[in-house]
Structure 1
Amino acid sequence: MHAEFDFEGDVVLVTGASGALGSAVCRAFDDAGATVCGTDVVEPGEDTELDRGEVSFYRGDLTDEAQAEQVVSGAVDAHGGLDALCNVAGMWQGGDPIDETDVGDFETVFDVNLKTMFLASKHALPHLRESGGNIVSVSARASLEGGEGDGPYRAAKAGVRLLTETIAEENRGAVRANAVMPSVIDTPANREMLPDADHDSWVDPADIARVVLSLSSDATPPTSGGSVPVYGEA
């Protein structure tokens, strides 16, 4: 059985839209009939939904509150409201043990992975309460336990999970909030970085995007505050 989603009439904002997962989420919502707004700090690549104008693009650095507020209000003003926010913006960065980690590297990882999610959610929530909307954010499998060499990343993604639970609790009956937890996503960049890995075990961004659609739809009405594994058969 193949599930079909209908987001006709819904306005969706996707952060990190220029990346592999963000663009897949934009494509999935666009295919399902939504009005899709994408935002990123970098311009979208060529021959994508954003590049072709099928998705409205709002350039902004969501680590800056003024820009985050401007992106959200721009999408709302242009399209009359907001029904879903997908917090996809993020980055992975390995590095040194904690006692050797530069504070600048720590701040960058937290800003890109957690602060963007906080600021986008903060300014989207008043509009989502009006529409009875949804937030889906990207955490990570690595957030479930400590590990060697990427502690700030694991801590930031754990923060995404906890903020998701908090938003869900604070907005019971008004806005649902959930997270997805990928591991290594099958992207050209990851294949180039890890050429000898078992690529068959990685998950396609399009498959993760379908989970994001499901959590944003009326197919999952009792699910809020959850963190859903999307790292394949483990």
Structure 2
Amino acid sequence: MQLKGKTIAVTGAFGILGTAVVRELLAQGAAVAAIDRADAPRDPGALGAATRHGGVDLGDAAAAAACFDAIVAAHGGLHGVVNIAGGFRWEKVPGGSLDTWDTMYQLNLRTAVAACQAALSHLPDGGRIVNIGANGAVKAGAGMGAYAASKAGVARLTEALAEELKDRGITVNALLPSIIDTPANRADMPDADASRWVQPAQLADAIVFLLSDRASAITGALIPVVGRV
């Protein structure tokens, strides 16, 4: 149990990937705080013993701070944060909307920044932050501009914060997945070979490692997790 005695907060915890991560963290002995903008998970039982913090707008600094204060009050501390909260829009620039760019920034980058800021006053030296970026942000394809730009921002946040927290021994890393095997992606790409995609459980395993003591020498890393795409 690599995370026994640790309290980990997970944003976007009510989604497919978030739920898989929560379950694996619990299996590794962590106490888990599950945060999401949705008021309640679709399957509450899937989150096991995790405390649930629904209805939280992480794009609002005050709401984020209040949520993390409540988590620390409930658990007696905080040792790590996993930023999964986000969203996706496919839209080409010609004929597209500027609002899409703002939405992707709000969902993918602003939430991560706010969660990090809210957590930092509680994280001890040696704490952990893991962000979910995107391999598609390394080189954007058609229709991927707004999404890729926001996820590129997550990469730059990861690098900058890693440098800023080195003296405290807090590591900050990001995983860059390709296509994740979710019901939504299967519906959008019915003819694709989903066996080549990244499984949520595989990302959860990588997150556990980055949260563990074994990863103490790794910070500022942008780690591709691309399956066989």
TM-score category (smaller protein):
over 0.9
User: How far apart are 1:173 and its partner, in Å?
Assistant: 3.5
Paired position in structure 2 for 1:170: 164
- SS state of the match for residue 136, structure 1? strand
1:121 is matched with 116
User: Following the alignment from structure 2 to structure 1, what is the Cα–Cα distance between the partners of residues 187 and 138?
Assistant: 26
SS at match of 1:148: coil
Q: Structure 1 residue 31 and structure 2 residue 9: aligned?
A: no
Q: How does 1:141-180 map to 2 (within 5 A)?
A: 141-174=135-168, 175-180=170-175
Shift in Å, 1:149: 1.0
1:48 CA displacement: 3.5
- Alpha carbons 1:143, 1:154 under 8 Å: kept: yes
The within-5 A match list for 1:25-174 is 25-42=21-38, 43-50=40-47, 52=48, 54-59=49-54, 60-97=56-93, 99-128=94-123, 130-174=124-168
SS at match of 2:66: helix
- Is the Cα–Cα contact under 8 Å of residues 15 and 89 in structure 1 kept in the other structure? yes
Letter in 2 for 1:158: A
RMSD value, Cα: 1.3
Q: Which residue of 1 aligns with 2:197?
A: 202
Identify unmatched segments of 5+ residues in structure 2.
none
**Aligned length, in residue pairs:** 226
Work out the CA distance in 2 between the residues paired with 1:90 and 1:41.
Answer: 10
Opposite residue 11 of structure 1, the aligned amino acid is: T
Runs (5+) with no aligned partner, structure 1: none
Identical residues among aligned pairs (%): 38
Separation in structure 2 between the aligned mates of residue 153 and residue 212 of structure 1, nearest angstrom: 22
Deviation at 1:47, TM superposition (A): 5.0
Measure, in 2, the Cα distance between the counterparts of 1:170 and 1:182.
Answer: 25
Deviations 1:79-108 (A, max 9, x none): 1111000000111110121x4331222111
The one-character-per-residue Cα deviations of 1:22-81 (angstroms, maximum 9, x if unpaired) are 11110110001100000001121125333x5x1101120111111111111110111111
How far the C-alpha of 1:131 sits from its partner, in A, is 4.5
Give TM-score, length-normalised by structure 2. Answer: 0.95
Cα distance in 2, alignment partners of residues 141 and 16 from structure 1: 19
